[in-house]
Structure 1
């Protein structure tokens, strides 16, 4: 019987680093806003989250809002200042347009998945182009990961 430890899980974003990446982006946005408003953190959280949800991501080519709610977000400024999109809005045909969006949502998600896979392949090729090949022979000294630590030795103990 072989026991393997997996370091990433798709079902748990907190394990595979996705939560950390999202938190880092949100904190970066908060820091940028806080430098302008001088410490009103609570007031700026909704605008930073809205900006994150409505920004097109490189990997998918879509916004998280569009992938979640199957429609494009209307920013609050568009409600106050007339834009081409708000001027061309016809309320009577809105329900039909939303139904069409729901019918096409699987295609949008499939295209986002294909774009994500392509993006990951490009990142892998970029990374692998800079990796130096190493040949090891019997007797070479290598650094290895200790899977079972000594009893009484933890990550907070002295080296």
Structure 2
């Protein structure tokens, strides 16, 4: 597995949750939330500001599919966000199925003693961490980047 930091991103309509791995890709930690801006470019810039110039090897973006695995309006938004982000970075952007990410993130917050009102501000960040943890687990087991590229989504 290639050393280097990985970014996890949970695209929302109001906030974009961001998580980052350590250099050895062992741990995923919440990095923060970026406020969603009017344009995709400005929203992506907000995400990249959180990385503070880190040299990233891959960015994992949550792909929100419905429970049947079909695309929704949120799926299209995430794909457009990822395409815009891909044009701004020198590393691959990969899409990870995030169907149960919010459920996992909510359960993790509850387990830590936060209720839904207190956790609202960090739920996107926790969801991004779950996306990144899932991707890291796949990378460790396969030796390859997890998820799908933009080109794979066109198939």
**When the two structures are superposed, what TM-score results if normalisation uses the length of structure 2?**
0.24
- The higher relative CO (CA closer than 8 Å, separation ≥ 6) is in 2
Q: Which has the higher strand share?
A: 2
In proportion to residue count, which structure has more helix?
1
Whose Rg is larger? 1
